[in-house]
Amino acid sequence: MKVTQFVQQHRDDWKKLEQLVATMHKKRKKLAGKDIEQFHKLYQKTAQQLSYSQTYFENEEVTSYLNGLVAKSHNLLYKDQLSSMKQLGHFFTTAFIGLLAEQWRFVVAAMVLFTIGVVGSFISVYNDPLHLYSILPADIAQATDPERLGEGAGMMDASLMSASIMTNNIQVAIMAFAGGLLFGTLTVYILVFNGIIVGGLAGLFWHYEMTYEFWAYIVPHGMIELAAIFIAGGAGLLMGYKLFVPGEFTRMYQLKVHAKRSVQLLLGTIPLFVIAAAIEGFITPAAISLEAKYAVAIITVVGLILYVMIGNALLKKRSVS
The pLDDT of 269-273, averaged and rounded, is: 89
* Selected residue with higher pLDDT from 261 and 146: 261
Q: Rounded to whole angstroms, how far apart are CA atoms 115 and 219?
A: 15
The rounded mean pLDDT for the chain is: 82
pLDDT at 92: 82
The span from the CA of 159 to the CA of 98, in Å, is: 33
Cα–Cα distance measured from residue 204 to residue 234, given in angstroms and rounded to the nearest whole number: 29
Environment class of residue 291 by beta-carbon count within 10 Å: exposed (0-12), middle (13-18) or buried (19+)? exposed
**Average pLDDT in the 243-259 region?**
80
Please tell me the distance from the alpha carbon of residue 251 to that of residue 69, in angstroms, as a whole number: 25
Q: 96-127 and 211-244 helices cross at what angle (nearest 10)?
A: 120
| 81 backbone dihedrals φ, ψ, rounded to 5° | -120, -20
Name the residue with higher pLDDT: 152 or 182. Answer: 182
Mean of pLDDT values over 244-250: 79
∠ CA(130), CA(131), CA(137), 5° rounding? 105
CB 17 within 8 A of CB 43: yes
User: Higher model confidence: residue 261 or residue 84?
Assistant: 261
Q: What is d(CA 194, CA 272) in angstroms, rounded to the nearest whole number?
A: 18
Looking at the chain, list the stretches that DSSP marks H as alpha helix, in order from N- to C-terminal side.
3-27, 34-56, 61-74, 85-90, 96-127, 132-135, 138-143, 158-178, 185-207, 211-244, 251-268, 270-278, 290-320
- pLDDT band at 156, cuts 50/70/90? very low
298 — pLDDT class (breaks 50, 70, 90): very high
pLDDT at 199 over 70: yes
What confidence category does residue 159 fall into, taking pLDDT thresholds of 50, 70 and 90? low
Question: Residues 70-116: pLDDT tens digits?
Answer: 888 877 665 555 455 666 777 887 788 888 888 899 999 999 999 99
How far is it, in rounded angstroms, from Cα 7 to Cα 10? Answer: 5
Per-residue model confidence (pLDDT) at position 189: 94
Quick one: pLDDT band at residue 34, thresholds 50, 70, 90? low
Torsional sign, CA 153, 154, 155, 157: positive
pLDDT band (50, 70, 90) for residue 231: very high
pLDDT tens for each residue of 45-65: 888 888 888 888 877 888 888
Average pLDDT of span 252-269: 83
251 backbone dihedrals φ, ψ, rounded to 5°: -65, -35
Quick one: pLDDT at residue 314? Answer: 75
What confidence tier does 153 reach under pLDDT thresholds 50, 70, 90?
A: very low
Cβ neighbourhood burial of 191 (10 Å; 0-12, 13-18, 19+): buried
pLDDT for residue 183 is more than 70: yes
Q: What angle do CA 26, 32, 35 make, to 5 degrees?
A: 75
